[in-house]
């Protein structure tokens, strides 16, 4: 075998702390290495060409590139060796950047470590065999999880592109957070007026199947062939019969139910349609408040329903769907305003969240769009907004900026002035973050045209005094304390990962960060992909973002799915388990161990039981290989021999030395 | 009642002088509840403000000396009524735990090194956590029915939370629970942990007038008959300086400012020698008389309804 080794400078990323020429020189003495050199940027076009040329000139059988992480450029170099006429699996990568040059400053030690990593790759490559990918059919349907604006956009784009879409929404209507908003920044246009038509499009689109009040129960399978189980939660109303007339809601005697859509600002009925433009416009019974469920008698809704849609006996049901890709658009939740005891959220009725304020501003909200204090219904004249409530604060484990609060607060000051012309708004802020198109102009407008008083500083305390709330804080520009007697205090709560985000991530086998936001495959270059093939991200589930960014990501995720489905077949990864028929005794341990159901028991020609791997289902995790008592099952490209060769490469010398001493 | 409770007791210097009423009533209440207080023999200054402003090691050494004495008594917990002492003792113990080098330096000043094994608590914390509000309520003989109280904790008993590790740092409720158990009406007093001006009373009296004035004003606006405190310095600013505040702010507050232990003693039916109510600057008489009247009126009404 003739092996070529290419050691990358990566500019100064590697060469700064590793003697790359020295590593290349050392590699010349490694077993079966026929050629070794260093390259300035091996991933660049001249770098790749140098590899191709060297393969051809020196008649190489395999290539080792010592550079960055394989997560970054393994596909790049595999394509290069393929261009040179080799099998793409006759290639190994040694990570001497993330695992070496970036973590240590001692150049000598780094150089020794880099050489060791190259030797390890060379030893593994000596056991590499050419592998061939197989093709498999794909199911060109897509599942979109979450019916907020990002999910709606993704669903519509996919459906318009000719794909069949299954859209899942956990509440009884799509629309998400955007449907709750009164107006949107920086245009101050009506939120439900621009979202409403899109929601109707979803309900009318022949390619979209909508499951509202439903959640993802489980996911099996792999890119191109996922099988998902959808839990349709019991609504206690037969939606095929319900016409959304609302008569049940009008007559329901249980009037103290929690109104999630209105953020608890006013109670609602136990049977409920959240808002007039709801899609689907169907009623749901909340059994925690319904008298039929609590007391066992009532039945008013069943009596008044003109279509006899009420069904108190309804149970959760499950639907199975087959799809080829999944877009998660599960959005965010709001920071719990009670966590700041000093602001009194939850203790004082006139300290509310920004989302509750949206519902007070909204014409279809509980006050009909009239701003009223929750305590006494009085119209507030002085409104204080406190920004960064649950953003940029390590003490509550929310060190990140939520990104949209500065903008919606500016919008709310403008709306406050529009609703109550003789009102005055005050905004306590840390910094104004308004980097979008027309965003900074918008915040200036709030200050200059609408007279909102912006005070740079934090609030130390809010407390009730007679009929008002005293807001005490600091003005860091004046260097003095300020105290404002306010009628209403609005807390600009930040974004958190939505509740249940981590459980869903585990079902989808995608990763999430310390705060529960889903991890994109690459923060710059693969913003809507995950590290699980066929699963994409859209909207705030990946990190807090505003409406334009969420819509943009929804479309981007749809484009990714459309590109994936532009082929009829996908290539399977040949790095999968393979059974040696001669060694297998048919014990079936691997069948039980495999988490993907990728191994089945078959019979050989003599009728003996033998394990058999379904290549398209196998994920190459390697669990079966360590389970097999006969070592009969081996993971291609990561065989026991290869792992041992790597261990020997690193440990042989140390082991021999320890025996000698 | 749990007769097992026994603590090393650190009275603090103000307990022997300005807050003698706090000290005497604390001891009396604990006696009534069967809590054994073993005064730390030969205790010294905790090292609060004066020492602390000059040298942190010296200040911590003063605290550590007292903790070391408690260790020698074989006690595992020290309790003190004074929040300033509490803070200094706890800060010293906390820092010694975090920084072994600091502990070594502190111990160089001490004849008997402090191993730092004893826990430090306020009397309030011991009452609410170790004894529990039910046991306290059981001891009540003369409920404080009809007495509207603004509970005021002061700024340092609960803060910083990582050191004090007791109750909600922004909205503590321990004293509320005890007072409610005594039968009093506890008002939702929002400035529970606000600064009263503390020792600014010496250097900048005007600051105390404003800050303590605000506390009195809020209590007054809520219709309080009295304020309950747990801190000698807070009590002094609100009570002893109330006439000065009235003069400075042109107000006429007449709010008695009790130590919560005095109120407990009252409800337990203890005698004046155990309460020292006569030490209060703003007399407690009118508030207690009002409470008495309210109680009698209620009893009368009760009797009438029964007759009918």
User: Using beta carbons and an 8 Å cutoff, which residues of B are at the interface with A?
Assistant: 168-171, 188, 190-191, 194, 218, 221
pLDDT above 90 for A366:
yes
Q: Does A605 touch chain B (CB under 8 A)?
A: no
**Bridging pattern class, strands A317-323 and A382-389:** unpaired
Best residue in A347, A350, A463 to probe B by mutation, most B CBs within 10 Å?
A463
Residue of chain B with shortest Cα separation from A466: B221
- Whether B149 and B291 map to the same domain: the answer is yes
Give the model's pLDDT for residue A71.
85
Check B190 against A464: CB less than 8 A apart.
yes
Query: Lowest-pLDDT range, A488-497, A591-600, B98-107, B267-276?
Result: A591-600
Q: Out of A341, A465, A466, name the one closest to residue B170 (CB).
A: A341
| Number of domains observed in the structure of chain B | 2
Query: Residue B305: inside a domain, yes or no?
Result: no
Give the model's pLDDT for residue B308.
67
Query: Residue B181: inside a domain, yes or no?
Result: yes
d(CA A245, CA A304): 11
d(CA A640, CA A538): 40
Our CA-based measurement puts residue A466 at a distance from the nearest CA of chain B, in whole angstroms, of 7
Check A465 against B170: CB less than 8 A apart.
no
- Whether B120 and B268 map to the same domain: the answer is no
Give the model's pLDDT for residue B297.
83
Residue of chain B with shortest Cα separation from A343: B170
d(CA B69, CA B112): 8
Our CA-based measurement puts residue A333 at a distance from the nearest CA of chain B, in whole angstroms, of 25
Give the model's pLDDT for residue A661.
64
Q: Out of A340, A461, A466, name the one closest to residue B221 (CB).
A: A466
Please write the tens of the pLDDT for every residue from A51-103: 999 999 999 999 999 999 998 899 999 999 999 999 999 999 999 999 999 99
Give the model's pLDDT for residue B2.
47
Q: Give residue A553's pLDDT band: very low, low, confident or very high (50, 70, 90).
A: very high
- State whether residue A518 is helix, strand or coil: strand
- Whether B153 and B286 map to the same domain: the answer is yes
Give the model's pLDDT for residue B300.
83
- Whether B145 and B284 map to the same domain: the answer is yes
Residue of chain B with shortest Cα separation from A340: B170
d(CA A8, CA A37): 9
Query: Lowest-pLDDT range, A120-129, A191-200, B53-62?
Result: B53-62
Q: Out of B170, B188, B221, name the one closest to residue A342 (CB).
A: B170
Q: Out of B171, B188, B221, name the one closest to residue A341 (CB).
A: B171
- Whether B86 and B118 map to the same domain: the answer is yes
Our CA-based measurement puts residue A463 at a distance from the nearest CA of chain B, in whole angstroms, of 6
The whole-number average pLDDT for the span A617-644 is 93
pLDDT above 80 for A237:
yes
Q: Which domains does chain A have, with CATH numbers?
A: 3-131 (3.40.50), 141-233+316-331+503-564 (3.50.50.60), 235-314 (3.30.70.20), 335-496 (3.50.50.60), 577-636 (3.30.70.20)
Count, residues in chain A = 661
Query: Lowest-pLDDT range, A444-453, A642-651, B62-71, B298-307?
Result: B298-307
Task: Scan for tokens 């991933």, then name that residue.
Answer: A43
Q: Give residue A659's pLDDT band: very low, low, confident or very high (50, 70, 90).
A: confident
Query: Residue B307: inside a domain, yes or no?
Result: no
| In contact, B121 and B70? CB cutoff 8 Å | no
pLDDT above 60 for B1:
no
Query: Residue B197: inside a domain, yes or no?
Result: yes
Between CA B159 and CA B168, with CA B163 as vertex, the angle to 5 degrees is: 45
Residue of chain B with shortest Cα separation from A464: B190
CATH code of the domain containing B204: 3.40.50.11810
Contacts of A395 (CB under 8 A, 6+ apart): none
CATH code of the domain containing B107: 1.20.1050.140
Please write the tens of the pLDDT for every residue from A557-566: 999 999 999 9
- Whether B172 and B257 map to the same domain: the answer is yes
The phi and psi torsions of A378 (rounded to 5 degrees) equal -70, 150
The two three-digit tokens of residue A621, written as one number: 């995790």
The whole-number average pLDDT for the span B140-144 is 94
Q: Which domain holds residue B179?
A: 141-298
Work out the angle between the directed axes of helices B56-72 and B83-98 (0-180°, nearest 10).
90
Residues of A in contact with B188 (CB under 8 A): 347
Q: Does A346 touch chain B (CB under 8 A)?
A: no
Query: Residue B303: inside a domain, yes or no?
Result: no
d(CA B130, CA B5): 8
Please state, rounded to an integer, the average pLDDT across all residues of chain A. 95
Give the model's pLDDT for residue A541.
98
d(CA A188, CA A168): 30
Please write the tens of the pLDDT for every residue from A13-60: 999 999 999 999 999 999 999 999 999 999 999 999 999 999 999 999
The neighbouring-strand residues paired with A38 are A7
Contacts of A651 (CB under 8 A, 6+ apart): none
- Whether B78 and B189 map to the same domain: the answer is no
- Whether B99 and B154 map to the same domain: the answer is no
- Whether B72 and B155 map to the same domain: the answer is no
- Whether B172 and B107 map to the same domain: the answer is no
Please state, rounded to an integer, the average pLDDT across all residues of chain B. 93
d(CA A335, CA A355): 11
Query: Residue B136: inside a domain, yes or no?
Result: no
- Whether B280 and B161 map to the same domain: the answer is yes
Give the model's pLDDT for residue B3.
53
CB pairs under 8 A between A and B: 19
Contacts of A620 (CB under 8 A, 6+ apart): A573, A575, A576, A577, A635, A636, A638
Domain end call among B124, B158, B176: B124
Q: Does A344 touch chain B (CB under 8 A)?
A: yes
- Whether B159 and B94 map to the same domain: the answer is no
The phi and psi torsions of A295 (rounded to 5 degrees) equal -105, -10
């Amino acid at each position: 075998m003739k092996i070529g080794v290419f050691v990358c400078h990566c500019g100064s990323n590697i060469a700064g702390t590793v003697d790359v020429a020295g590593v290349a020189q050392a590699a010349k003495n490694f077993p079966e290495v026929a050629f070794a050199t260093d390259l300035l940027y091996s991933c660049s076009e001249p770098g790749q060409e140098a590899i191709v040329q060297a393969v051809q000139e020196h008649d190489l059988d395999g290539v080792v590139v010592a550079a960055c992480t394989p997560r970054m450029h393994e596909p790049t170099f595999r394509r290069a060796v393929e261009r040179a006429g080799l099998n793409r699996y006759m290639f190994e990568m040694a990570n001497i950047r993330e695992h070496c040059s970036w973590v240590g400053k001692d150049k000598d030690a780094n150089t020794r470590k880099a050489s060791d990593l190259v030797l390890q790759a060379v030893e593994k490559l000596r056991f590499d065999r050419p592998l061939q990918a197989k093709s498999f059919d794909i199911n060109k349907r897509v599942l979109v999880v979450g019916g907020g604006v990002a999910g709606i956009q993704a669903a519509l784009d996919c459906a318009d592109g000719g794909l069949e879409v299954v859209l899942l929404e956990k509440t009884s209507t799509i629309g998400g957070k955007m449907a709750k908003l009164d107006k949107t920044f920086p245009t101050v246009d009506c939120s439900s007026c621009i979202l409403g038509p899109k929601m109707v499009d979803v309900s009318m689109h022949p390619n979209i199947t909508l499951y509202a009040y439903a959640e993802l129960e489980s996911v099996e399978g792999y890119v191109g062939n996922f099988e998902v189980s959808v839990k349709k939660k019991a609504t206690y109303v037969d939606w095929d019969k319900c016409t959304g007339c609302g008569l049940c809601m009008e007559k329901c005697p249980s009037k103290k139910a929690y109104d999630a859509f209105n953020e608890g600002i006013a109670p609602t009925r136990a049977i409920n349609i959240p808002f007039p433009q709801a899609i689907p416009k169907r009623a749901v019974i909340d059994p925690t408040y319904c008298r039929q469920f609590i007391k066992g008698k009532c039945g008013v809704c069943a009596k008044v329903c003109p279509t006899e849609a009420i069904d108190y006996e309804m149970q959760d049901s499950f639907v199975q769907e087959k799809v080829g890709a999944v877009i998660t658009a599960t959005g965010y939740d709001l920071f719990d305003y009670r966590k700041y005891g000093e602001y009194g959220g939850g203790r004082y009725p006139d300290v509310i969240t920004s989302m509750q304020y949206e519902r007070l501003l909204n014409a279809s909200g509980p006050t009909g769009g009239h701003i009223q204090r929750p305590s006494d219904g009085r119209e507030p004249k002085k409104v204080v907004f406190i920004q960064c409530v649950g953003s940029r604060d390590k003490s509550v484990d929310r060190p990140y900026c939520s990104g949209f609060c500065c903008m919606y607060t500016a919008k709310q000051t403008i709306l406050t002035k529009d609703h109550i012309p003789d009102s005055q708004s005050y905004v306590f802020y840390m910094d104004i973050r308004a980097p979008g198109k027309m965003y900074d102009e918008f915040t200036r407008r709030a200050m200059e045209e609408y007279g909102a008083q912006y005070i740079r500083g934090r609030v130390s305390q809010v407390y009730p005094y007679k009929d008002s709330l005293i807001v005490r804080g600091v003005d860091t520009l004046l260097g003095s304390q300020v105290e404002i007697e306010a009628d209403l205090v609005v807390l600009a709560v930040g974004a958190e990962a939505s509740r249940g985000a981590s459980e869903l991530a585990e079902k989808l086998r995608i990763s999430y960060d310390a705060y529960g936001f889903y991890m994109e495959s690459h923060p710059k270059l693969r913003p809507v992909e995950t590290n699980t093939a066929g699963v994409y991200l859209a909207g705030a589930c990946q990190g807090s973002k505003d409406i334009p960014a969420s819509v943009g990501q929804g479309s981007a995720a749809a484009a990714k799915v459309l590109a994936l489905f532009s082929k009829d077949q996908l290539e399977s990864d040949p790095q999968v388990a393979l059974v040696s028929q001669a060694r297998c005794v048919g014990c079936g341990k691997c069948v039980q161990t495999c988490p993907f159901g990728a191994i089945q028991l078959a019979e050989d020609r003599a009728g003996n039981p033998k394990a058999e791997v379904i290549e398209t289902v196998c994920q190459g995790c390697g669990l079966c290989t360590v389970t097999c008592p006969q070592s009969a099952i081996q993971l291609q490209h990561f065989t026991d021999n290869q792992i041992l060769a790597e261990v020997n490469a690193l440990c042989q010398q140390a082991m021999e030395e320890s025996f000698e001493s | 009642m749990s007769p097992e409770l026994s603590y090393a007791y650190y009275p603090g210097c103000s307990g022997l002088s300005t807050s003698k009423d706090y000290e005497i009533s604390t001891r009396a209440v604990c006696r009534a509840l069967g809590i054994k207080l073993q005064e730390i023999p030969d205790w010294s200054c905790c090292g609060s403000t004066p020492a602390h402003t000059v040298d942190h090691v010296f200040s911590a050494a003063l605290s550590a000396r007292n903790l070391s004495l408690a260790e020698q008594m074989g006690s595992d917990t020290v309790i003190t009524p004074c929040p300033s002492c509490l803070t200094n003792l706890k800060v010293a113990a906390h820092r010694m735990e975090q920084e072994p080098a600091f502990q070594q330096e502190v111990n160089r000043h001490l004849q008997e090194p402090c191993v730092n094994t004893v826990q430090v608590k306020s009397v309030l914390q011991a009452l609410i956590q170790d004894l529990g509000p039910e046991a306290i309520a059981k001891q009540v003989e003369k409920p404080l029915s009809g007495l509207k109280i603004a509970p005021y904790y002061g700024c340092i008993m609960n803060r910083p939370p990582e050191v004090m590790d007791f109750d909600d740092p922004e909205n503590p409720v321990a004293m509320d629970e005890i007072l409610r158990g005594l039968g009093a009406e506890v008002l939702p007093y929002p400035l529970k942990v606000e600064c009263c001006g503390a020792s600014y009373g010496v250097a900048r009296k005007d600051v105390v007038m404003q800050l303590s004035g605000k506390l009195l004003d809020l209590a007054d606006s809520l219709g309080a008959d009295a304020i309950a405190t747990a801190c000698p310095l807070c009590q002094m600013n609100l009570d002893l300086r109330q006439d000065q505040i009235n003069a400075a702010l042109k107000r006429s507050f007449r709010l008695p400012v009790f130590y919560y232990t005095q109120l407990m003693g009252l409800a337990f039916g203890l005698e004046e020698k155990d309460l020292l109510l006569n030490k209060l600057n703003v007399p407690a008489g009118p508030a207690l008389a009002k409470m008495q009247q309210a109680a009698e009126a209620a009893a009368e009404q009760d009797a009438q309804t029964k007759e009918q």
